Amino acid sequence: MDQKYFYALLIAPLMVALRVAAYFFDKQRIKDEVETRLGRTVSIVWNPFGRGWFFEKGERHYDVTYVDRRSGGTVTAACKTSMFTGVYWADGDAAAETAARIPSLHRCAKCGYSIRIEWRACPNCGKATEFA
């Protein structure tokens, strides 16, 4: 009887230590993926009931917030990972998506030069704009 409790007391901390180690390995794997392909990592939060958690075995789900390299906006995405499968994004490959960018350019009324909306005057001819 005492031996049964001894093994239980030995195995429980070992399982907790393995789960904590897996968290740090997963976090580093996700951070490497984001910083090489997507942008700068802001936060990585474990989500035990993430999208598709019910039928997954051995994979852990995380909510990742990062600053997109292309658009400069903050993006929150869900991903799953495990020791041997790599990082999979819930909405497909986040690096393949390109944000639609609407340039804030207008034409100068005097010379037709493309000017940004925040500029007070045209750099080509010097005419003051009515935007700013």
Chunk the chain into consecutive blocks of 10 residues (it has 132) and report each block's average pLDDT, rounded to whole numbers: 76 89 91 89 88 72 89 87 84 51 71 80 82 52
Task: Tell me the C-alpha distance between 65 and 38, whole Å.
Answer: 11
**What pLDDT was estimated at residue 129?**
75
**Same-domain status, 107 and 83:** no
**Same-domain status, 34 and 53:** yes
Cα distances from 127 to residues 39, 64, 107, 111, 113, in angstroms, run 39, 46, 11, 9, 11
**Same-domain status, 50 and 83:** yes
**What pLDDT was estimated at residue 131?**
57
Q: Which domain holds residue 118?
A: 103-132
**Radius of gyration of the chain measured on its C-alpha atoms:** 25
**Same-domain status, 40 and 52:** yes
State the CB neighbour count (10 A cutoff) for residue 42: 13
**Same-domain status, 29 and 92:** yes
Task: Tell me the C-alpha distance between 87 and 21, whole Å.
Answer: 17
**Same-domain status, 15 and 50:** yes
**What pLDDT was estimated at residue 44?**
93
**Same-domain status, 119 and 97:** no
Tell me how many domains the chain contains: 2
**Same-domain status, 81 and 109:** no
Task: Tell me the C-alpha distance between 39 and 66, whole Å.
Answer: 6
Q: What are phi and psi of 105, to 5 degrees?
A: -110, 145
**Same-domain status, 83 and 120:** no
